[in-house]
Structure 1
Amino acid sequence: MEVANVLHMTEGIGDCSYAKNSLFQQKVILMTKSITDEAISALYRSLSTGETICIAELGCSSGPNTFLPVSQLIQTIREECTSNGQQLPEFHVFLNDLPGNDFNTIFRLLPTFHEDLKKQNMRSGDGLLFDPPNCFVAGVAGSFYTRLFPSKKLHFVHSSYSLHWLSQVPDGIENNKGTIYAASTSPSSVLKAYSKQYERDFATFLKYRSEELVEGGRMVLTMPGRENEHHLSNVCRFMLEPLAIALKDLVTEGLIEEEKVNSFNFPLYCPSPAEIKYIVEKEGSFTIDLLKTLEHQMDFSCEGYNEAQSVRVVGQPLLVRHFGDDDKLMDVVFNKCSDIYANIMANEKNIFTNVIVSLIKRND
Structure 2
Amino acid sequence: MATMSAPVEQVLHMTGGDDETSYANNALITQKVMMRARPILEESIQKMYSTNLPMTCLKVADLGCSSGKNALLAVSNIIKIVDEMSDRLKVETPTFQIFLNDLFGNDFNSIFKSVPEFYERIKQDKAEKQHGTTCLINATPGSFYGTLFPSNSIHFFHSSYSLHYISQAPKWWSDEEAKLGDDEDNNIYVTSNSPPSYSEQFRKDFNLFVRSRSRELVLGGGMLLTFAGRYDTPQDITAPGLIRMILNNMVSQNLIEEARLAHFNVPFYTATENEVREIIKGEGSFSIERFESIKTSWDGSSLDEEGIESFEDDDERGEFVARYVRAIFEPLLKVHFGEGVMDELFLRFKNKVIQFLPKLVYNAFVISLVKIA
TM-score normalised according to structure 1 size: 0.89
Equivalent position of 2:46 in the other structure: 41
The answer as to whether partners of 1:182 and 1:191 remain within 8 angstroms in 2 is: no
Equivalent position of 1:273 in the other structure: 273
The answer as to whether partners of 1:182 and 1:190 remain within 8 angstroms in 2 is: no
The answer as to whether partners of 1:173 and 1:189 remain within 8 angstroms in 2 is: no
The answer as to whether partners of 2:191 and 2:270 remain within 8 angstroms in 1 is: no
Equivalent position of 1:67 in the other structure: 72
Percent identity, aligned pairs only, is 35
Range 251-260 or range 50-59, more displaced: 251-260
1:69 positional shift? 0.6
**Which SS does the other structure have where 2:84 is aligned?**
helix
Select the residue among 115, 122, 142 that pairs with 1:117.
122
1:243 positional shift? 1.7
Larger relative CO (CA 8 A, sep 6+): 1 or 2?
Answer: 2
Select the residue among 344, 369, 372 that pairs with 1:359.
369
Write out per-residue CA displacement over residues 100-144 of structure 1, whole angstroms, 9 at most, x where no aligned residue: 00000010010111112123225xxxxx13422110000111000
In structure 2, C-alpha distance between the alignment counterparts of 1:14 and 1:188, rounded to whole Å? 36
1:339 positional shift? 2.1
**Which SS does the other structure have where 1:109 is aligned?**
helix
The answer as to whether partners of 1:246 and 1:336 remain within 8 angstroms in 2 is: yes
Write out per-residue CA displacement over residues 21-52 of structure 1, whole angstroms, 9 at most, x where no aligned residue: 11111111101000010000111111232431
AA of the residue aligned to 1:219: M
Quick check: 1:201 aligned with 2:215?
Answer: no
AA of the residue aligned to 1:104: N
Equivalent position of 2:112 in the other structure: 107
Instruction: From the superposition, tell whether residues 204 and 16 of structure 1 become closer, same or farther in structure 2 (CA, over 3 Å).
Output: same
The answer as to whether partners of 1:174 and 1:263 remain within 8 angstroms in 2 is: no
1:248 positional shift? 2.0
In structure 1, C-alpha distance between the alignment counterparts of 2:372 and 2:333, rounded to whole Å? 41
| Number of equivalent positions | 350
**Which SS does the other structure have where 2:195 is aligned?**
helix
Equivalent position of 2:303 in the other structure: none
1:328 positional shift? 2.3
1:261 positional shift? 1.8
1:80 positional shift? 0.5
Equivalent position of 2:356 in the other structure: 345
The answer as to whether partners of 1:87 and 1:130 remain within 8 angstroms in 2 is: no
Range 48-57 or range 254-263, more displaced: 254-263
The answer as to whether partners of 2:184 and 2:245 remain within 8 angstroms in 1 is: no
Superposed, which structure 2 residues align to 1:310-325 within 5 Å?
310-323=324-337, 325=338
1:181 positional shift? 12
In structure 2, C-alpha distance between the alignment counterparts of 1:120 and 1:89, rounded to whole Å? 16
Superposed, which structure 2 residues align to 1:267-306 within 5 Å?
267-299=267-299, 302-303=314-315, 304-306=318-320
Instruction: From the superposition, tell whether residues 186 and 289 of structure 1 become closer, same or farther in structure 2 (CA, over 3 Å).
Output: closer
In structure 2, C-alpha distance between the alignment counterparts of 1:11 and 1:290, rounded to whole Å? 33
1:265 positional shift? 1.6
The answer as to whether partners of 2:299 and 2:320 remain within 8 angstroms in 1 is: no
1:318 positional shift? 1.5
Superposed, which structure 2 residues align to 1:65-104 within 5 Å?
65-104=70-109
Superposed, which structure 2 residues align to 1:243-262 within 5 Å?
243-262=243-262
AA of the residue aligned to 1:103: F
In structure 2, C-alpha distance between the alignment counterparts of 1:183 and 1:38, rounded to whole Å? 40
AA of the residue aligned to 2:343: D
The answer as to whether partners of 1:181 and 1:240 remain within 8 angstroms in 2 is: no
**Which SS does the other structure have where 2:121 is aligned?**
helix
Equivalent position of 1:229 in the other structure: 232
Equivalent position of 2:306 in the other structure: none
In structure 1, C-alpha distance between the alignment counterparts of 2:361 and 2:288, rounded to whole Å? 26
In structure 2, C-alpha distance between the alignment counterparts of 1:186 and 1:61, rounded to whole Å? 24
The answer as to whether partners of 2:60 and 2:156 remain within 8 angstroms in 1 is: yes
Gaps of 5+ in 1: 123-127
**Which SS does the other structure have where 2:271 is aligned?**
coil
TM-score normalised according to structure 2 size: 0.87
Equivalent position of 1:125 in the other structure: none
AA of the residue aligned to 1:137: I
**Which SS does the other structure have where 1:129 is aligned?**
coil
In structure 2, C-alpha distance between the alignment counterparts of 1:189 and 1:251, rounded to whole Å? 23
In structure 2, C-alpha distance between the alignment counterparts of 1:71 and 1:361, rounded to whole Å? 23
Instruction: From the superposition, tell whether residues 310 and 112 of structure 1 become closer, same or farther in structure 2 (CA, over 3 Å).
Output: same
In structure 2, C-alpha distance between the alignment counterparts of 1:50 and 1:332, rounded to whole Å? 54
